Structure 1
Amino acid sequence: MEIRDFAERILQSDSLAEKLRPLDGPATDRIPGPPQRFPLPARPANLKFAGRKEAPAMPAPTAFRDPAKRAVAHHIMANHELQALEVMAFTLCAFPDAPTEFRHGMLPIMADEQRHTRMHAQRLEEFGMTFGDLPVNGYFWLKAQDFQSPLDYLAGLPLTFEAGNLDHTIEFEQAYDSAGDKKGAGIMRAIHQDEIGHVAFGIHWLRAMKPADQTDWDAYIDHLHWPLRPEKAKGKAFQRQPRLDAGLTDEFIDQIQHAGRDDLR
């Protein structure tokens, strides 16, 4: 199957099952196609983007004793994972001239996003809910509309949203565990491990694509688009070791850890 066909299936199908269907056999990149930007992904009616004020807010970890709150968290995170998948498909279609190795490297990460979405959706069913029962926002997708190059994608998704999830996944693992929800905690731990690899992909390709005389940090900053900024790449409880495991330098990690609202030049 062509990589382009796989990406278009994700973006153009209004069936959740089709979006989450694994790649059909080995992929080829012989026909990457012309650049194409999708203003919105097709989605089933119950998963179309609603306004941010319509979608529920993430429950506080202290509320996870309530099973209903834990279910809401799974619903929100399922939408995050689905958006990440769609943003990756958008990137493959918008930047067909990106290196073939980069494009092939995105495929196992997209498989992870499909699996993460299914994990949250299946857990929702155990709570008596269906993915799509609540309104969902399109925050990640809307930020991707500002991407003008693969480097913008790397700065925005792997090195900001997914890097921040290195902290969030641990926070929510602990919240589920404290509530006695071992299944929820296990889902978050599995996703955390995958996110380390996703961030590693991001920093590897940032280094491969940026000018040789530019530092990792300067390349990262140069390719962030407001309101994305370094402080978005971390959670409340900063986790240093997984960032080291992903290949970030101590200097880069220090910059993220101490990032504030005035960091962008």
Structure 2
Amino acid sequence: MEIRHFAERVLLSDSLEEKLRPVEEPFTDEHPGDPLRVEEPTRPANLQFAPRRSAPSMPHPLSFKDQQKRAVAHHIMANHELQALEVMAYMLLAFPEAPTEFRLGMTTVMADEQRHTRMHQVRGAALGIKFGDLPVNCYIWKKALSFENELDYLAGLPLTFEGRNLDHTIEFETFFLEAGDPKSAAMMRQIHKDEIGHVSFGIEWLRKMKAPGDSDWEAFCKHLHWPLRPFKAKGDTFQDEARRAAGLSDEFIQQLRESGPDTGVDE
């Protein structure tokens, strides 16, 4: 399958099943096409982006004993995964001149995002809420509209949103275990392992594409757009070893650990 055709299917289909349908055949990149940018992904009616603050917030972990609250958490995380998938498709269409090796790597990550979305979809339904029963936000998507090049994407999504998920997945594994839900906890551990690979993709290509002379940290900070900043790339339980496994340097990890709300990025 041509990468462009796959990206168009993910970004422009109004069928969730089509967006999440795995690609079994090898990818080709012979016809990347002209740049294409859209203001919003095409989605089914029940997954249209809701007005600001009308989508539910993540329930407090202490409420996770309530099955319904855990279902809400999976619904929210399914939307996060779907937005990440759509942002990746957007990047493939907006920057068709990117190296084929980069674009092929993106399709591998996208297969994981499809699977993660389905995992949350299935688990949420088992707990009582079907994906699309609740309003969904567009936070990740809106941040992607500021990406002006591949480095902005690498800093913003793999190294910030997915970097933060290195911590959040372990935190939610603990929350689900404490709530007596080992199935949800096992899901989060599997997603955590996949996120290590996604962050690895991010730092590998940041190093290949950054300006000569820039350190990893300098390139990362330089390509974040407000309100994204280094502080947003970590959760409450900082996972040093996962970041090392992803290939981040000890210096980068230490700078990230020490970063605060005003570190590294000008508004």
Q: What is the TM-score of this pair, normalised by structure 1?
A: 0.98
Aligned to 1:93: 93
Matched, 1:238 2:238: yes
The letter for the 2-side match of 1:76 is: I
Give the Cα separation in 2 of the matches to 1:119 and 1:32: 30
Aligned to 1:189: 189
Aligned to 2:258: 258
Aligned to 1:160: 160
Aligned to 1:201: 201
Q: Deviations over 1:157-189 (max 9, x none)?
A: 000000000000000000001111011001100
Within 5 Å, which residues of 2 pair with 1:84-163?
A: 84-163=84-163
The letter for the 2-side match of 1:239 is: Q
SS of the aligned residue for 1:41 comes to coil
Q: Deviations over 1:92-151 (max 9, x none)?
A: 001111111000011111000000000000011211221000000000000000000000
Structure 1 position 24, deviation (Å): 4.5
SS of the aligned residue for 2:103 comes to helix
Aligned to 2:50: 50
SS of the aligned residue for 2:157 comes to helix
Give the Cα separation in 2 of the matches to 1:125 and 1:53: 23
Give the Cα separation in 1 of the matches to 2:26 and 2:100: 14
Q: What is the Cα-based RMSD across aligned positions, in Å?
A: 0.8
Structure 1 position 52, deviation (Å): 3.1
SS of the aligned residue for 1:224 comes to coil
Give the Cα separation in 2 of the matches to 1:243 and 1:21: 30
- Greater shift in the superposed pair: 64-73 or 155-164: 64-73
Give the Cα separation in 1 of the matches to 2:128 and 2:72: 11
SS of the aligned residue for 1:262 comes to coil
Within 5 Å, which residues of 2 pair with 1:44-83?
A: 44-83=44-83
Give the Cα separation in 1 of the matches to 2:96 and 2:254: 34
Give the Cα separation in 1 of the matches to 2:52 and 2:175: 24
Matched, 1:217 2:217: yes
Equivalenced residue count is: 265
Give the Cα separation in 1 of the matches to 2:31 and 2:230: 36
SS of the aligned residue for 1:134 comes to coil
Give the Cα separation in 2 of the matches to 1:64 and 1:197: 29
Runs of 4+ displaced beyond 4 Å: none
- Greater shift in the superposed pair: 250-259 or 161-170: 250-259
Give the Cα separation in 2 of the matches to 1:84 and 1:262: 25
Give the Cα separation in 2 of the matches to 1:250 and 1:212: 20
SS of the aligned residue for 1:123 comes to helix
The letter for the 1-side match of 2:186 is: G
Q: Deviations over 1:18-74 (max 9, x none)?
A: 000012511100000111111100001110001231000011212111111100000
Aligned to 1:228: 228
Q: What is the TM-score of this pair, normalised by structure 2?
A: 0.98
Give the Cα separation in 2 of the matches to 1:184 and 1:60: 16
Identity %: 65
SS of the aligned residue for 1:160 comes to helix
Give the Cα separation in 2 of the matches to 1:145 and 1:252: 26
Structure 1 position 237, deviation (Å): 1.1
Give the Cα separation in 2 of the matches to 1:17 and 1:113: 13
Aligned to 1:177: 177
